[in-house]
Amino acid sequence: MIVVKSLEELSNNPFTSPFALVPTMGNLHEGHINLLEIAREKNFLPVVSIFVNPLQFGPNEDLDKYPRTLDNDLEILEKNNCHGVFIPQENEILKNIEPLEAPFADKLCAKSRPGHFNGVISIVNKLFQVTNPQACVFGMKDFQQQLIIRHLIKTKQYEIQFLSAPVVRDTNGLALSSRNNYLTSKERTEASKVFKFLSEIQEEIKLSFKKQKKILLIDLDTIKDNYVQIIENKGFKIDYLEILDSKTLEICQNNSTKILIAIAVFYKQVRLIDNLVLDLSSFS
């Protein structure tokens, strides 16, 4: 495994093409390993970057306590035959970084984490520029993030193939996340109810759609409001629960085919996000 720690080393093009960049903040878990597999399935060598990006944390967020487990991460990557790793030095990667503004600034996570996606898009842009990948892989758990990165590739006209990876879940349904490490195993079981609620909402929309045939005939607001109540009664604090057109992140229209059901909750002060995408085209 090729481990690169400076921009100077990178300038010698140490990675073999074609490779896919898998940007991470470390503390790797099965979800990340799946991203490597997606890269390989598409015939790209996986190159993982590990950088806890300070630009994407708000002043009251968990930057200081964000789990940093570099030795273990490297071991995991080695074991999983990762082609390369890029571990930038903070001062080097942030120097002269172009500050970018992310689209969808008034939607989902951007509403409650102002500036977060500007931080994400700026660092990912820099990572693209310094590593020059032929592809990149992002997980669907951060649904809004992957829309924003697709937008970045388009507007900057990068020749980078975008590969998206499905959400990887624990056997109980809990979406894997580094932040799950803040919870005890009992709490994680409790937190897995979030996925159960999303699945129930999905089922309800699916059943109504089969009867009504038009998404606008379904009272999505009432479904949403009911579930906000149900979920809060189970001890979760809702940040948002949204049912939107997955392409535009706008309110669903009758021509919306893929419906995003997205949630962010606080559980034991840990912010958890998850989503499901319901494809209506198979029912019309």
As annotated, the active-site residues are 32
Q: How far apart are the C-alpha atoms of 258 and 226, rounded to whole Å?
A: 22
Select 49 or 256, whichever has its Cβ closest to ligand PAF.
Answer: 49
Strands 161-165 and 84-86 turn out to be unpaired
Q: Provide, rounded to whole angstroms, the least separation between the CB of residue 214 and ligand PAF.
A: 36
CB of 284 to ligand PAF, least distance (A): 34
Judge contact between 69 and 26, C-beta under 8 A: yes
CA dist., res. 139 & res. 37, Å (int):
12
Decide: is 56 part of the binding site for ligand PAF (CB under 6 A): yes
Residue 281: half-sphere exposure toward Cβ, Cα within 13 Å? 6
Q: Which of 23, 84, 88, 133 binds ligand PAF (CB under 6 A)?
A: 23
Q: How far apart are CA 190 and CA 215, in angstroms?
A: 32
Number of residues forming the site for ligand PAF (CB under 6 A): 10
120 binds ligand PAF per the rule CB under 6 A:
yes
Label the pairing between strands 135-139 and 19-24: parallel
CB of 172 to ligand PAF, least distance (A): 23
- Give the interface segment with ligand PAF, choosing from 21-29, 181-189, 190-198, 210-218 (CB under 6 A): 21-29
Q: Greatest CA span in the chain, whole angstroms?
A: 61
Minimum CB–partner distance for residue 140 and ligand PAF (Å):
11
In the set 19, 27, 35, 53, which binds ligand PAF (CB under 6 A)? 53
Burial call 151-161: b when 16+ CB within 10 Å, e when fewer: ebbeeeebebe
Residue 24 interacts with ligand PAF (CB under 6 A): yes or no: yes
Which residue among 142, 201, 205, 264 contacts ligand PAF (CB under 6 A)? 142
Binding residues for ligand PAF, rule: CB under 6 A, are 23-25, 53, 56, 120, 123-124, 142, 145
